[in-house]
């Protein structure tokens, strides 16, 4: 049976499901089948990136599925090496050609790369590509409040969402508060911490047992209740179904607070602090 996912509305009016599918490492024919099968069971928001080299795979999955294009929300991302205005415009076009799609629902700047100092220029290109109808909604990833404030000051336009590393070991409370105050949605990458030791955590196991759910389901439900949009990646039909089956239970306040105690300052998976870390 198809799972029904709740929806949210972005600051520009576009609606999104509150949970999506990550696709990093889903490539080629196998990847297209895995993504198509996720669409079949109810996923509507699909996350790709120019740098994952699978925009073509995602486009192929969209064509293999029988779900109308307008019901899907496809996201891609601009790499750091193409942040000058002219390169960004051409890269967005190239992203669309690779996927063989007419538009992306969401297009994000992948990393701010503050040292090269081109992200405002890249943002202007996204604003213009939206006006040209190539993109329905524009956002960013890994932007700190200082980067977001600069976008607002220099272009007058804030992103519809910011996709950031977020899981119980690194819960980004301050960043999330900034988003909430400025009506920018939070999207969570590596929402189950790439299935590391988080999935053996005792506190989470106790909560999972209370609800008859798995630890992954408890974590994904926690994201939803924080108001964040998790995009767990799974190639397996069983785990895709497990990850989407989280709309039939609620964590109480005490459980939310217990999960909040798991965060730690060094909780990032690979120490990718956007103030310093760069990706091209």
Ligand X SMILES: NC(=O)c1ccc[n+]([C@@H]2O[C@H](COP(=O)([O-])OP(=O)(O)OC[C@H]3O[C@@H](n4cnc5c(N)ncnc54)[C@H](OP(=O)(O)O)[C@@H]3O)[C@@H](O)[C@H]2O)c1
The answer to whether the beta carbons of residues 251 and 24 sit under 8 Å apart is: no
Of the residues 17, 18, 22, 73, which one makes contact with ligand X according to CB under 6 A: 22
Q: Which is nearer to ligand X, 132 or 275 (CB)?
A: 275
For residue 97, what are the contacts with CB-CB under 8 A and spacing of at least 6? none
**194 belongs to the binding site for ligand X (CB under 6 A):** yes
Among residues 81, 211, 239, 258, the one that binds ligand X under rule CB under 6 A: 239
Provide the β-strand partners of residue 185: 161
Helix (H) or strand (E) holding 229: strand 228-230
Residue 39: CB minimum distance to ligand X, A: 15
Number of residues that bind ligand X (CB under 6 A): 26
- Is the Cβ of residue 30 or residue 86 nearer to ligand X in the bound state? 30
Contact segment (CB under 6 A) with ligand X among 20-28, 63-71, 81-89, 128-136 equals 20-28
Binding residues for ligand X restricted to 141-170, rule: CB under 6 A: 141-142, 163
- Applying CB under 6 A, does 196 fall inside the site for ligand X? no
Question: What is the set of active-site residues?
Answer: 52
Asked if 81 touches ligand X (CB under 6 A), the answer is no
Residue closer to ligand X, measured from CB, 48 or 65:
48
Closest CA to 47 of 22, 25, 14, 19: 22
Separation between Cα atoms, residue 233 and residue 192, nearest integer Å: 9
* Per-residue binder mask for ligand X (CB under 6 A), 86-115, x = binder: ------------------------x-----
Q: Is 225 left (phi over 0), alpha (psi -120 to 50) or beta?
A: alpha
What is the number of other CB atoms lying within 10 angstroms of the CB of residue 173? 11
Least Å from the CB of residue 140 to ligand X:
9
CB nearer ligand X, residue 131 or residue 276: 276
Choose among 265, 247, 243: nearest CA to 171: 265
Taking the C-alpha atoms of residue 8 and residue 149, their distance in angstroms, rounded to an integer, is: 23
Binding-site member from 32, 109, 232, 246 for ligand X (CB under 6 A): 232
d(CA 77, CA 66): 25
Residue, CB closest to ligand X:
22
Stretch that binds ligand X, among 173-181, 205-213, 235-243, 257-265 (CB under 6 A): 235-243
Closest to 37 measured CA to CA, from 53, 55, 60: 60
Query: Is the CB of 131 or the CB of 270 nearer to ligand X?
Result: 270
Query: DSSP per residue over 130-157, as a string?
Result: HHTTSEEEEEEES--HHHHHHHHHHHS-
CB of 234 to ligand X, least distance (A): 3
Q: Which single residue is written with the structure tokens 């999506």?
A: 20
Query: What does the binding site for ligand X look like in residue numbers (CB under 6 A)?
Result: 22-24, 47, 110, 141-142, 163, 189-195, 199, 216, 231-236, 239, 242-243
């Amino acid at each position: 049976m198809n799972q029904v996912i709740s929806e949210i509305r972005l600051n520009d009016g576009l609606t999104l499901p509150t949970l999506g599918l990550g696709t990093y490492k889903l490539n080629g024919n196998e990847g297209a089948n895995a993504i198509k099968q996720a669409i079949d069971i109810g996923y509507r928001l699909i996350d790709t990136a120019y740098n994952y080299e699978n925009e073509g795979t995602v486009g192929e999955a969209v064509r293999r599925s029988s779900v109308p294009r307008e019901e899907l929300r496809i996201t891609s991302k601009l790499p750091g090496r193409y942040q000058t205005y002219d390169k960004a415009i051409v890269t967005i076009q190239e992203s669309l050609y690779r996927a063989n799609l007419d538009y992306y629902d969401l297009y994000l700047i992948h990393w701010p790369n503050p040292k090269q100092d081109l992200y405002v220029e890249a943002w202007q290109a996204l604003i213009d590509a939206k006006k040209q109808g190539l993109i329905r909604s524009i956002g960013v990833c890994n932007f700190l409040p200082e980067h977001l404030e600069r976008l607002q000051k220099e272009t007058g336009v804030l992103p519809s969402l910011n996709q950031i590393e977020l899981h119980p070991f690194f819960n980004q409370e301050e960043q999330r508060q900034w988003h909430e105050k400025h009506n920018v949605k939070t999207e969570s990458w590596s929402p189950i911490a790439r299935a590391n030791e988080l999935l053996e955590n005792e506190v989470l196991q106790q909560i999972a047992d209370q609800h008859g759910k798995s630890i992954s389901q408890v974590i994904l439900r926690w994201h939803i209740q924080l108001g964040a949009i998790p995009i767990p990646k799974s190639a397996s039909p069983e785990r895709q179904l497990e990850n989407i089956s989280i709309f039939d239970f609620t964590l109480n306040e005490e459980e939310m607070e217990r999960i909040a105690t798991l965060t730690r300052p060094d909780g990032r998976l690979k120490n990718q602090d956007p103030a310093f870390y760069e990706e091209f």
